[in-house]
């Protein structure tokens, strides 16, 4: 098959000549295509049919290929300074030369899939088209769910639409007669996830897992899109989007940025515990936002599905996610039950007596290892979510009222506070910190500055990214969303979580909505505006006065002790750090005394 788009045809031929697949297949996004690819993987033994869930399948990755590999992820720009201090940088010609050596013949014995996809509703002026070339049928099936793979995209390409080229290979050629393995991938030292933002180009090699291989996700929707957004005057952010409706029917749209595994999906699908309030999900991970004709900021979710962390997800923590994954789901690195279902830690109160673990071995509760990998995932269509908002595919987007930043902090940071103004809010986003989790390779529990939850995902110098946020605020003026900071994870001195979280987080969001409506005041503190006593709706919560006090406590000594770390963090950006943020740090220190 050929399309009329000469640029696309030339690119596909160039990649085929380099990678030398046995055949080329152009994808159309049909159900028949998905079913055929899945049948192929069932026959090869890489997919396990789940008898207990309709049209659902379990995959087990190679133990070396279980998460994002940030130290193998590159932003390749003409100058190192353009990539900035938070990105791994390599000179473009050198990186391409290295990767061309790896790509040379890398698809021998395999089919090369050409996957045309849209990020955002097909044909929307806010959407972008990508074409991923991959030699992995697992990637193709996941892209069916996570993006809009469609013959309609091919029609747009035929009509001359531009596209973002995304090249992926698992890096495991097959010699004639060689038997394939269950999860082919390259060794860690041969893995590269490379971005060339000046060319809107993505090259990935060696990993078949998640965002390393599903190139519409973090690679395109954040790393490349963030650079495009700066050039074009919009925003591409690592944010959930939800609609909250109060008992009077007033709608509020909230976008929130938290690092992975800090409760984004739970909040996006929250079931409020306060009577009369309703929450609907628009997206759980990524927001693309543009200023509308009325001067307000409008957001779309560019994705078509959820790629959620399974462990810890349960009917207690996120019933909407559990209902979303009842059928037509791809599970990766979960455990398999004896009756043909999936299981993971935290899913049920009772642990099964026997499982097949994520490595394919017999498992019992007496074992020392987890049955599911801590970063085990589900890939599910967003349309299956019981609380998906009717406007989640609105091509115009939804108007954002509130931005929330946050992270996983066991101390120092109170439950919630509001920024004094836009610049202060950008300062809060720019200094956000979280204790690391299993979604990242490396030690867990270390405090890591993660500005705007974008450290692994910003496709250019983050000092310039901070400036872009300030510029967007200047353009928005009085229409700018209000900015808040939350910490659901504060612990007592004895190490117990102080806040129940989950559906009760609606109480915090209610306070934010009442703040923007001017219904309630707030108390000034050195770090921002905190709820006045009695303004946070705690009706029905069994919380002691001591715990509430501790949850809201602002210790000036703790914050003063933290300020040198913020200064070191800012120093990394040198003269790219906006002076307005340096002034915010000075003002914080003055308020702390």
Distance from the Cα of residue 290 to its chain's centroid: 19
Bridge partner list, 399: 298
Instruction: Give the integer Cα–Cα distance in Å for 99 and 563.
Output: 42
- Strands 73-75, 88-89: pairing is parallel
- Strands 297-300, 398-399: pairing is antiparallel
- The helix/strand/coil state of 57 is strand
Instruction: Give the integer Cα–Cα distance in Å for 193 and 206.
Output: 8
Instruction: Give the integer Cα–Cα distance in Å for 84 and 77.
Output: 10
Catalytic pick among 19, 166, 219, 262: 262
Instruction: Give the integer Cα–Cα distance in Å for 151 and 163.
Output: 15
- The helix/strand/coil state of 95 is helix
262 counts as catalytic: yes
Tally Cβ neighbours within 10 Å of residue 178. Answer: 11
Here the tokens at position 397 are 């987007």
- Cβ pair 238, 201 in contact under 8 A: no
| Angle of CA points 352, 357, 359, to nearest 5° | 180
Name the E strands within 175-233.
Answer: 192-196, 201-205
| Residue 231 φ/ψ, nearest 5 degrees | -65, -35
Q: Which residue has the tokens 């956000």?
A: 432
**Which residues are designated catalytic?**
262
């Amino acid at each position: 098959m050929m399309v009329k788009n000469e640029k696309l045809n030339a690119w596909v031929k160039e990649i085929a000549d380099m990678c030398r697949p046995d055949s080329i297949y152009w994808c159309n996004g049909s159900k028949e295509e998905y079913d055929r690819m899945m049948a192929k993987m069932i026959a090869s033994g890489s997919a396990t049919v789940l008898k207990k869930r309709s049209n659902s399948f379990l995959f087990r990755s190679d133990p070396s290929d279980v998460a994002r590999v940030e130290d193998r992820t590159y932003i390749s720009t003409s100058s190192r300074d353009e990539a900035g201090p938070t990105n791994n940088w390599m000179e473009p010609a050198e990186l391409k030369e290295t990767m061309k050596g790896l790509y040379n013949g890398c698809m021998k014995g395999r089919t090369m899939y050409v996957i045309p996809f849209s990020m955002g509703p097909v044909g929307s002026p806010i959407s972008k088209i990508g074409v991923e070339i991959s030699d992995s049928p697992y990637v193709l099936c996941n892209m069916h769910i996570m993006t809009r793979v469609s013959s309609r995209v091919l029609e747009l390409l035929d009509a001359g639409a531009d596209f973002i080229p995304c090249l992926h290979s698992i890096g495991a050629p097959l010699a004639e007669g060689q038997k394939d393995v269950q999860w082919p991938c390259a060794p860690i030292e041969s893995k590269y996830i490379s971005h060339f933002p000046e060319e809107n180009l993505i090259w990935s090699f060696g990993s078949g897992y998640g965002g390393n291989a599903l190139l519409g996700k973090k690679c395109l929707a954040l790393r490349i899109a963030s650079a495009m957004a700066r050039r074009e005057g919009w925003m591409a952010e690592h944010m959930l989007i939800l609609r909250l409706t109060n008992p009077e029917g007033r709608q509020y749209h909230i976008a929130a940025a938290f690092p992975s595994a800090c409760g984004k999906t739970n909040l996006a699908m929250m079931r409020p515990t306060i009577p009369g309030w309703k929450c609907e999900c628009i997206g759980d991970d990524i927001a693309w936002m543009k200023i509308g004709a009325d001067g307000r900021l409008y957001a779309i979710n560019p994705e078509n599905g959820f790629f959620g962390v399974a462990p810890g997800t349960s009917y207690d923590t996120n019933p909407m996610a559990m209902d979303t994954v009842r059928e037509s789901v791809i599970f990766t690195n979960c455990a398999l039950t004896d009756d043909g279902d999936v299981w993971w830690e935290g899913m049920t109160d009772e642990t099964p007596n026997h499982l097949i673990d994520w490595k394919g071995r017999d498992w019992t509760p007496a074992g020392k290892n987890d049955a599911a990998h801590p970063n085990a995932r589900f890939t599910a269509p967003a349309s299956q979510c019981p609380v998906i908002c009717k406007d989640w595919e609105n091509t115009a987007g939804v108007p954002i009222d509130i931005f929330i930043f946050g992270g996983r902090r066991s101390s120092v940071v109170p439950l919630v506070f509001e920024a004094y103004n836009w610049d202060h809010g950008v300062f809060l986003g720019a200094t956000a910190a979280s204790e690391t989790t299993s979604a990242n390779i490396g030690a867990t529990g270390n405090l890591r500055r993660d500005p705007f939850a974008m450290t692994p995902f910003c496709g250019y110098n983050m000092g310039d990214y901070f400036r872009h946020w300030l510029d967007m605020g200047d353009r928005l003026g009085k229409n700018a969303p209000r900015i808040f900071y939350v910490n659901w994870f504060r612990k007592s001195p004895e190490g117990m979580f102080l806040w129940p979280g989950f559906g009760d987080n609606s109480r915090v969001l209610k306070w934010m909505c009442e703040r923007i409506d001017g219904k309630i005041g707030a108390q000034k503190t050195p770090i921002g505006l905190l709820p006045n006593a009695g303004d946070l709706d705690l009706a029905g919560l069994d919380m002691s006065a001591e715990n509430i006090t501790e949850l809201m406590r602002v210790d000036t000594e703790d914050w003063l002790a933290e300020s040198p770390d913020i200064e070191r963090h800012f120093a990394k950006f040198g003269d790219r750090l906006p002076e307005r943020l340096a002034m915010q740090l000075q003002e914080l220190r003055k308020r702390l005394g």
